[in-house]
Amino acid sequence: MATTTIPQEAVPQHHFSERMTGKGQSDEKCRLRTFCYTKYIVEINGLLLDSNRARIQDTPFQWCLQIVKPLQICNPLMLEMLKRWLPARVMQRCIPLSYGDISMCLGLGVFGVDVEFDKNICGVVGSVMKDKLLSVENVIHVIKSLVEAEFVDVDNVCRLYILVCFVVLYFPRNSRTISNIPFSVLDNIDRLSTYNWGKAVHTYLVKSLSRVFLALGQAKICLSGSTTVLQIFLEWRLREEDHENEIIRDALQLGDEGQSKKVHVDKKAASTQDLLKKL
């Protein structure tokens, strides 16, 4: 089978250092907030009809249909990754985060037209949500009404489903209302596969990482972007011995197989520093 090589110059790589660098970045009291609330995707998946699923299956976001329970994000682990984030290539020992990693984590393509973000709601989605407060809860309410209607509007259910996925998985941010999202691209569902979604998710996440990295040391920081990618990415990068560590297994929900036979660790009492020592 032929393989496709992505030109390295076309795929910028940003990095995490393999070890903590510098001093003065210890933040025992720092709290990190993330915004990947995939419970909403699980809720909608329980509402969809076969016709809705078939339509979504033809889009680049079909993987979301496989989410049967909320994806848990370990914020203390995300905070440690932030401390290792390198906005530029400034160290020799580093771990790259590339478009390819986004593709492998979320099943998105890394070729195509750049995705344009719209500051305010527009297009077909704007018409469907006219005169309604644009929140995730209200979008789900509209999806439910469309699914229960006598004549199901399959395309609009698909549009609103993907919109929710944008807000809670691919481009999540700290906001009660939905804005700065690719609304207009949802007008033509059949063209969604022509866009470079891997690059869009990567760029959005990298900008957030670099911005939040500068805020380390504050009492409370918010990380936008797909933190789900970071957690999956970290699991891939774990060393073989890390998979046997009970603290990391608990944080990443690695399952019961191959658990360490060492003395039980009180996970609730385990500090962030204990976790870091094992990475």
* Rounded CA separation 50/61 (Å): 16
**Which of 178, 176, 169 is CA-nearest to residue 200?**
169
- Asked if the structure places residue 20 within a domain, the reply is no
List the domain range (segments joined by +) for residue 97: 27-237
- Asked if the structure places residue 75 within a domain, the reply is yes
**Which of 229, 232, 261 is CA-nearest to residue 244?**
261
- Asked if the structure places residue 5 within a domain, the reply is no
- Count the domains in the chain: 1
pLDDT of residue 238: 59
pLDDT of residue 73: 80
65-124: pLDDT as tens digits: 999 998 888 777 777 777 766 654 433 345 577 788 788 888 888 889 999 999 999 999
pLDDT of residue 117: 95
pLDDT of residue 183: 96
- Asked if the structure places residue 34 within a domain, the reply is yes
- Asked if the structure places residue 157 within a domain, the reply is yes
- Asked if the structure places residue 256 within a domain, the reply is no
Per-residue pLDDT for the chain (279 aa), expressed as one digit of tens each?
Answer: 333 333 343 445 555 554 433 333 444 567 777 888 899 999 999 999 999 999 999 999 999 999 999 888 877 777 777 776 665 443 334 557 778 878 888 888 888 999 999 999 999 999 999 888 899 999 999 999 999 998 889 999 999 999 999 999 999 988 878 989 999 999 999 999 999 999 999 999 888 888 877 777 777 888 888 888 877 777 666 555 555 656 555 655 555 543 433 333 333 334 444 444 444
- Asked if the structure places residue 261 within a domain, the reply is no
| Radius of gyration in angstroms for the set of CA atoms belonging to the chain, rounded to a whole number | 20
Residue found by looking up tokens 């011995």 in the block: 241
- Asked if the structure places residue 13 within a domain, the reply is no
